[in-house]
A and B are shown apart, each in its own frame.
Chain A
Amino acid sequence: MSDTRVSFEVVVVGAGPAGLAAACAAAESGCRTALVDDTPWLGGQIWRGQQAHPTIPLAAHWVERFKQTKAVLLDQCTILGPGSSRILLAEDPGGPRQIQWERLILATGARELFLPFPGWTLPGNFGPGGLQSLAKHGWPVAGKRIVLAGSGPLLLAVGGGLRKMGACILSINEQAPLSRLISFGAGLFRWPSKWGQAARLKWTLRGTPFRCGVWPIGAQGMEQLRAVTLTDGRRQWTEECDLLACGFGLVPNVELPLALGCQLDNGFVRVDAWQASSVAGVYCAGELTGIGGADAALVEGSIAGLAASGHENAIRQLMASRASWRRFSAGLAKAFALREEVARLASAETMICRCEDVRFDRMKSFACWREAKLQTRCGMGTCQGRVCGAAARVLFGWGMESVRPPVLPGRVESLTQD
């Protein structure tokens, strides 16, 4: 199967802002570089659709810059896990692939945090970012009545985006209290680009109720979501809608770094000043090291790419910028910290593990993730705990500090090597 094996000096996993910047830095430094991504497009989730319809100049710049390099793009290529001796086992539509690396840069980004509440499994409940991605790829939202709920700056961004696509945004409901958002907003002048973004969104969303200190407690419908019940902690009310977009912020996609043995710190990959992880030759950049958004990811990606190609000296001038974006990231985490009520929304019958249909009352009696997994099969379905594992961390305080490959479902032949 030697024809399925490819070999590079630097392999970058994930073609979002961090991965694009890393691949550019490594390739421009003269390293034989590959950029691997699960999807058929560049830009990751945050810049999804930018290749076809560019509206963000920064995204267009990085996509174009990447295309000017000699880096090889391995798209629609799913990494299943580490093989032996610096090989990643993967597959693409053409079949199995083995990708050999000398230095590996992981930029696998983040996913949305979904917290279970009664009715959250009904079709029609999406992650806000997920719904926006789908809408960019043809999912019909024009004229649809949409409620947004959960937490994080993504709610506003998605609300604005969907409204431009003709959706009727009924309300945006942020669980964080107004007082915290005001103090975060007041400090935004230090990041003028973010301040501008917030101001433009506020304008796009004029007329749409934006409520703070409000969260969802249930969704109703038969086979399809029809309404959502919200609360501010004192009273409850129900809003009829066609779609609910509900996410409680972002969690890093640490499965691949974990499978490679990278050490974590509070749920994120621990890296040094050069973005190097605890595993020799493996670097991590972007949301994997802390939720900071595209700007932070670009700086970290550039640093990782330079470090992986032996250009440590060029990194020093990026350090101040990284420090600034890390302060932004810390501010975000503080402003949008989850209230404890949202960890207690599930009822006894609420499914926590959607793949294996494991109810809350089955899971709550266990002491840890591993025990619950062995006894109930939670986290052992097709998503491999990506949804319920992240939820269990919030609901029960369970950490998931190890994974077993494959980190994503694949064909058996893709898992055999040599």
Chain B
Amino acid sequence: MPDPIQLRVNGQTVSVAAGTVVAAAVALVGQTRFRRSVRGEARGPMCGMGICMECRVTINGFTHVRSCQTLCEQGMEVRTDE
């Protein structure tokens, strides 16, 4: 097994295997809500393929990144609900 990658989701450290997408890392810390809709509803990933945009999060300060299409990298800072 390759060394696990460590990243932080909302300040919480999580270790994942190489090849894990950021959306999965968010789920692994127990966070089901990725963002709030324009009217405040809870939303999370749906399409898993980069088209519905419901899984978007902030990664290393870049907002609106599709977490289902982005692979985890060592030291990433991920924030949901932004």
Measured in the bound complex, the distance between the Cα atoms of B68 and A197 in whole Å is 28
Does chain B have a CB within 8 A of A126?
A: yes
Which A residues are in CB contact (< 8 Å) with B39?
A: 357
Q: Taking the nearest CB of chain A, how far is it from the CB of B37, in angstroms?
A: 5
Instruction: Name the CB-closest residue of A to B68.
Output: A134
B25, A138: Cβ atoms under 8 Å? Answer: yes
Q: Mark B38-82, 1 if CB is under 8 A from A, else 0.
A: 110111111111111110100000001000110110000000000
A129, B49: Cβ atoms under 8 Å? Answer: yes
Which B residues are in CB contact (< 8 Å) with A57?
A: none
B42, A223: Cβ atoms under 8 Å? Answer: yes
Which B residues are in CB contact (< 8 Å) with A357?
A: 37-39, 41
Does chain B have a CB within 8 A of A143?
A: no
Secondary structure call for the A interface: loop
Does chain A have a CB within 8 A of B20?
A: yes
A138, B17: Cβ atoms under 8 Å? Answer: yes
B32, A223: Cβ atoms under 8 Å? Answer: yes
Q: Mark A253-270, 1 if CB is under 8 A from B, else 0.
A: 100000000000000000
Measured in the bound complex, the distance between the Cα atoms of B42 and A78 in whole Å is 27
Which A residues are in CB contact (< 8 Å) with B42?
A: 122-123, 223-224
Which A residues are in CB contact (< 8 Å) with B71?
A: 40, 137
Count chain A residues whose beta carbon lies closer than 8 angstroms to a beta carbon of B: 39
Beta-carbon contacts under 8 Å, A332-389 to B: 351, 354-357, 381-383, 386-387
Measured in the bound complex, the distance between the Cα atoms of B45 and A224 in whole Å is 12
Instruction: Name the CB-closest residue of A to B67.
Output: A134
Measured in the bound complex, the distance between the Cα atoms of B17 and A52 in whole Å is 12
Number of inter-chain CB pairs below 8 Å? 116
Which B residues are in CB contact (< 8 Å) with A130?
A: 45-49, 68
A138, B47: Cβ atoms under 8 Å? Answer: no
Measured in the bound complex, the distance between the Cα atoms of B51 and A140 in whole Å is 21
B38, A356: Cβ atoms under 8 Å? Answer: yes
Beta-carbon contacts under 8 Å, B1-43 to A: 16-17, 19-21, 23-25, 27-28, 32-34, 37-39, 41-43
Q: Of B16, B48, B56, which contacts A133 at CB under 8 A?
A: B48
Beta-carbon contacts under 8 Å, A108-153 to B: 111-112, 114, 121-127, 129-134, 137-140
Does chain B have a CB within 8 A of A166?
A: no
B43, A134: Cβ atoms under 8 Å? Answer: no
Q: Taking the nearest CB of chain A, how far is it from the CB of B1, in angstroms?
A: 12
Q: Which among B33, B42, B46 has the greatest number of chain A C-beta atoms within 10 A?
A: B46
Which A residues are in CB contact (< 8 Å) with B56?
A: 382
A123, B43: Cβ atoms under 8 Å? Answer: yes
B27, A386: Cβ atoms under 8 Å? Answer: no
Which A residues are in CB contact (< 8 Å) with B28?
A: 138, 140
Instruction: Name the CB-closest residue of A to B50.
Output: A38
Given contacts A123-B42, A127-B47, A134-B48, contact A139 B27 (CB under 8 A): yes
A126, B46: Cβ atoms under 8 Å? Answer: yes
A386, B69: Cβ atoms under 8 Å? Answer: no
Which B residues are in CB contact (< 8 Å) with A126?
A: 45-48
Q: Of B17, B23, B34, B51, which contacts A387 at CB under 8 A?
A: B51
Contacts from B to A (Cβ < 8 Å): 16-17, 19-21, 23-25, 27-28, 32-34, 37-39, 41-54, 56, 64, 68-69, 71-72
- Can you report 19 A-B residue pairs in the complex whose CB atoms are below 8 A from each other? A39-B69, A111-B49, A111-B51, A126-B46, A127-B46, A127-B47, A130-B46, A130-B49, A133-B49, A134-B23, A134-B48, A351-B41, A354-B37, A354-B43, A354-B46, A355-B38, A382-B64, A387-B47, A409-B53
Contacts from A to B (Cβ < 8 Å): 38-40, 45, 52, 111-112, 114, 121-127, 129-134, 137-140, 223-224, 253, 351, 354-357, 381-383, 386-387, 409
